[in-house]
Amino acid sequence: MSASGGAKAIVAALIANVGIAVIKFVAFLITGSSSMLAEAVHSLADSGNQGLLLLGGKRAQRAATTDHPFGYGRDRYVYGFLVALVLFTVGGLFALYEGVNKIVHPHHLESPLVAVVVLVAAIGLESWSFRTAIGESRHLKGEASWVEFIRRAKVPELPVVLLEDFAALIGLTLALIGVGLSSALDAPVWDGIGTAAIGVLLIGVAVVLIVETKSLLLGESASPAVNDRIAAALLGPGVTRVIHQRTTHLGPDEVLLAAKVAMPPNSTLAEAAAAIDAAEARIRAAEPSVRVIYLEPDVDRTPDAGPGGTPGAVAAQDGTA
């Protein structure tokens, strides 16, 4: 996995969630709190999710084959989608079921103080993991808001870890409120309400991840900024106009480019080949993520097409010549 994959954030989340899951299960056995059980299962699911993300990053590094000539970069999207499904089923639906069951059949907590201490400790560990994920994401986020980053990021791991940690912190707070109210008011139904709220929260986060990773799996184009840099780099000696260009992500760090470019009417075959080679070199220098390039030359039929191949304006990229 590349540095942009946020391996440090994933490992930090894995360490935190394994530790949290263990102490939560122990606390559940002591207290009998359904909120604690839901949170323990949530942390266990998150631990498995981080394992899936690491596995996806590893498998994405496989070399291209005859059957998969563009490589396995999208494996990272596949495993990100699996993580969203696990969060929805194992985390969200289980917590919702436990919450409803506790509301219908409430029972008093044993040693609620233990649950409170465990939840506070878990909040500390999750905060460390969340802070690490934020630090790893800042250089990719740039000036965009966090919502825009989640929606537009081509790297699946960081949005997944960010949303998981964010949901975990809110879920722990809900569990703490549920346990606290159950103990203070001697009303165990609040433990069930807190658990159900955790389930709804996790289902909501999972749906967001499913929608976003599905879009990546279908194949998203490069960002507008990357497309603009590519279009600018295409223009040069022998290339007068960009008729149209198409980009798609083969993986978080790999972009495929297909473009049709206009050349002066009097260009020879050798000149056209040299112009295409030079354009490819300019593109790779301007945007290293463009790994696969297919350029189709065409004759520039505009009235002001210069015989020397002086770069002109970039045409509207709507597929028309």
The pLDDT assigned to 304 comes to 61
> CA 230, CA 223: separation in Å to the nearest integer?
11
Contact 52, 2 (CB under 8 A): no
The pLDDT assigned to 237 comes to 92
Residue at 130: amino acid letter: F
The pLDDT assigned to 312 comes to 47
The pLDDT assigned to 305 comes to 54
- Name the strands in the sheet holding 290-299, side by side, starting at the edge strand that comes first in the sequence: 241-251, 254-263, 290-299
Domain ranges in the chain are 3-218, 224-299
The pLDDT assigned to 284 comes to 95
- CATH class as words, domain 3-218: mainly alpha
Among residues 126, 123, 124, 135, the alpha carbon closest in space to that of 6 is found at 135
110: alpha, beta or left? (left if phi > 0; alpha if psi -120 to 50): beta
Structure token digits, residue 231: 């279009």
3-state secondary structure at position 277: helix
- Beta-bridge partners for 83: none
Sequence-distant contacts of 16-24: CB under 8 A, at least 24 apart: 16/125, 16/126, 16/128, 16/129, 17/43, 17/44, 17/46, 17/47, 17/50, 17/129, 17/168, 18/43, 18/47, 19/125, 20/122, 20/125, 20/126, 21/46, 21/47, 23/118, 23/121, 23/122, 24/118, 24/122
3-state secondary structure at position 162: helix
Contact 60, 251 (CB under 8 A): yes
The pLDDT assigned to 5 comes to 52
> CA 243, CA 222: separation in Å to the nearest integer?
18
> CA 272, CA 290: separation in Å to the nearest integer?
21
- Residues of the chain under the 70 pLDDT cut: 1-6, 303-321
The residue whose two tokens read 């631990």 is: 47
**Alpha carbon distances (Å) from 87 to 196, 296, 321:** 15, 44, 47
pLDDT digits (tens, 9 = 90+) for 123-181: 888 888 888 888 888 888 878 888 888 888 888 888 888 888 888 889 888 888 888 88
CA dihedral sign, ordered 147, 149, 155, 160: negative
Among residues 271, 282, 304, 291, the alpha carbon closest in space to that of 232 is found at 282
Does domain 224-299 fall under CATH 3.30.70.600? My reply is no
Write the DSSP assignment of 278-294 as a string of letters.
Answer: HHHHHHHHH-TTEEEEE
Q: At what angle are helices 157-184 and 112-141 packed, to 10 degrees?
A: 160
- Beta-bridge partners for 244: 260
296: alpha, beta or left? (left if phi > 0; alpha if psi -120 to 50): beta
Please name the helix (run of DSSP H) or strand (run of DSSP E) that holds residue 94, with its range, or none.
Answer: helix 94-104
